Amino acid sequence: MNVRTVLIMGASSGIGAGLSSYYLGLGFKVIACARRAEQISLNLPRAIGFPLDVNDFEQLEDTLNEIVRSTDRIDLIVNCIGIGELNPSLDSSLDASMIETNVKSFTLLSNWAYNLFKKQGHGHYAAISSIAGLRGGKDSLVYNASKAFQINFLEGLQHKAAKENKSIFISDIRPGLVDTAMAKGEGLFWVMPVEKVVKQIAHGIHQKKRVITVTKRWRLLAWLFFLVPKCIYFRL
């Protein structure tokens, strides 16, 4: 790979921590960001750690600028930040936090990444959405809707990059269920290990895929999930 410097947002646990370890193992310079900055120094001692609270909008821009000043270039940014809650009772307080992180913060970070790469002249931005964004969910209305927003937003960035700068690449990473704190609910199946998911994500990024659905079995399920008629889906 030609990537030299990787910025991972949301690197304290789960897929973000796994990707940070993976790229460190390949010898890349890894800038790891997380709200829980102490986890970075503890789990990723070879990474360059930055505290990053994406919902602290007063400090967010200053932190991002500090990251840029810390290195000569950033080749790849992977945005692993997101929250998800089951909300069958339609608790508006849960909805508000998901909207703030998965929509508002996601938009700010994505715009910043694209503008950075446009100024730099090249770069690859990959962000984690979810196959949940392909359909509405009766117990996770806002989570699924926020992921649908991300999928649509990333497609728009891909269109923009295709017209403005063919040296900027955008990848939409759509995991199924992964063995992290984000996997919630009872009777879960096909929960994939983080290590397997990380390897398939990194492979998809290396191939500059626009959509990376992980793992391979979830790729098939996502296709069926999207195509099933509403008259059948509403009975599930």
pTM over 0.85: yes
Separation of alpha carbons 79 and 10, rounded Å? 7
What are the structure tokens assigned to 60, written together? 């967010």
The pLDDT tens digits of the residues spanning 38-60 come to 888 888 999 999 999 999 999 99
Question: Using alpha carbons only, what angle is made at residue 222 by residues 219 and 224, rounded to the nearest 5 degrees?
Answer: 115
| Confidence tier at 185 by pLDDT (50, 70, 90) | very low
Domain count, the chain: 1
Reduced to 3 states (helix: H, G, I; strand: E, B; else coil), residue 35 is coil
Q: Tell me the residue range of the domain where 11 lies.
A: 5-233
pLDDT digits (tens, 9 = 90+) for 94-115: 899 999 999 999 999 999 999 9
- Beta strand residue intervals within the chain, DSSP E: 5-9, 29-34, 48-51, 76-79, 123-128, 168-175, 211-214
Domain of 97, CATH number, reads 3.40.50.720
pLDDT of residue 180: 59
- Per-residue pLDDT tens over the stretch 118-152: 999 999 999 999 999 999 999 999 999 999 999 99
